[in-house]
Amino acid sequence: MQTTGALVKNSLFLKCLAVVMLGLVLWVPLLMIENTIQERTGYRQEAIHTIAASSAGEQRLWGPVLTIAVQEEYDEPTAGWSKAGSVPGTARKTRTHTLQVQATALDLKGRMVVEQRKLGLFSTPVFELNATLSGHYVTPTARDLPAPGPNARLTWMAPVLNVGVGDTRGIASVPLVTVAGTALAVEAGSGDKDAGSGFHSVAHALRLDGSAKTVPFTVVVRLVGTSEFGFVPMGETVTADISSNWPHPSFSGDFLPRSRVVQDSGFNAQWATTALASNGRAAEQGFQVRLIEPVDVYQQATRSVKYGFLFIVLSFAAFFVFEQLKNLRIHPIQYLLVGLAQAVFFLLLTSLSEHMAFAVAYGVSATASVVLVGMYLASVLRGAARAVGFSAAMGTLYAALFGILQSEQNALLLGSVLMFLLLAAVMLGTRKVDWYAQAT
């Protein structure tokens, strides 16, 4: 009898222990669902890389820079020997100096047309940029060269205009290059080790004599790229103006836009900087525009799964309190089935969001889960009214979670407030319950 009485008194503890164990067991499918989401994210990245490999990847423009080679012939003292001893003399030597000249003023104007390119279930934004680089150089003088040798004679070679391109596969047509009013032929390779790949043009018609000259230039290029465009400014004063039909840009790099307008129809952004700010070649990132997805369904799904265990705990707590207050007997298997229904909600959300808008997928998944649990609880709780009340509370939780997911900046605050309110509701609703009496 004493053993039986002890078991009866410990029944509440054993039930609590069983519920806790079920909650930990249900953590496993939630972790499996989260792992599935990560796998789908990996598949999407592979699809993006495949799309980029078939056209062009993230794109970048560098320059343009004017490279000028100067050949110097000079006398170098030499010493010979004769019967009388050492005989001084000279030998004619040649050396080459290379000067790289940044534009005094540089302006970029570009129109970026973006479309979604799909591979299976996944897609990524691909753009075509029509860009015009214009400005002018001030050519160097003999003072910009190292100290000349004796009897030096300088020969100024034809200047070379160099433009770096991140992925030359994205050059959709032959660039148009004009220097000092003369159209130049375009050759492959940037001609500059710092710029990497790209193209260059030789201005054979431009004659330099060591005096400062203002040389205007224009470069028109059409580039195809995936997801991101960057421009590394090489000039004393640089301005840029880029517009696009993509309404979800993200600006980064060494310089943010001085002004921007982002609308549903697209964006327009302007940059301005000087050599004092860019520090020449130190501005390796320059201006960057990333074309982001308006809603990252996998990121949203991952964030929602992190609240999954909380949902299950709250459901179990509500079951447990209801069971004690109404003297119902709810079997651990029934706890488990309701918990699994809530876990499957997150898997259903992830799969549906690959085929429809995230908000629609969330509404369909939440509705299906609430209806299923409501129909099941009508029998478990022995009454449709009780099942409707529980389903309404569950639907409210799903609505609150959707609000948290949509408000990324305030997610922590909203989540904390939600947990506090739920805990307060449980504490106030059970403040008059004699838990010792429930155990006897």
What's the mean pLDDT in 374-387?
Answer: 77
pLDDT tier at 203, thresholds 50, 70, 90: confident
Q: Which of 162, 132, 161 is nearest to 240 (CA)?
A: 132
Q: pLDDT tens across 119-137, in order?
A: 776 778 889 999 999 999 9
Check whether residue 269 and residue 120 sit in a common domain.
yes
- Per the CB < 8 A criterion, the answer to whether 163 and 259 are in contact is no
437, pLDDT greater than 50: yes
Q: 222 by DSSP, 3-state: which?
A: strand
Domain that holds residue 229: 59-77+89-291
Which CATH number fits the domain that encloses residue 141? 2.60.40
Check whether residue 312 and residue 236 sit in a common domain.
no
Check whether residue 115 and residue 199 sit in a common domain.
yes
Rounded Cα gap, residues 348 and 372, in angstroms = 13
Number of compact structural domains in the chain: 2
Check whether residue 386 and residue 335 sit in a common domain.
yes
Check whether residue 69 and residue 170 sit in a common domain.
yes
pLDDT at 222: 93
- Per the CB < 8 A criterion, the answer to whether 307 and 401 are in contact is yes
- Picking from 291, 323, 341, the residue at the C-terminal end of a domain is 291
pLDDT tier at 317, thresholds 50, 70, 90: confident
Check whether residue 152 and residue 42 sit in a common domain.
no
Check whether residue 223 and residue 128 sit in a common domain.
yes
Check whether residue 93 and residue 179 sit in a common domain.
yes
Residue 83 in domain: no
Residue 54 in domain: no
- In this predicted structure, which of 92-96, 206-210, 328-332 has the lowest mean pLDDT? 328-332
Check whether residue 100 and residue 231 sit in a common domain.
yes
Check whether residue 161 and residue 307 sit in a common domain.
no
- Picking from 253, 271, 291, the residue at the C-terminal end of a domain is 291
Residue 52 in domain: no
pTM here?
0.69
Q: Would you list the DSSP string of 4-48? A: HHHHHHTHHHHHHHHHHHHHHHHHHHHHHHHHHHHHHHHHHHHHH
42, pLDDT greater than 50: yes
- Picking from 231, 260, 291, the residue at the C-terminal end of a domain is 291
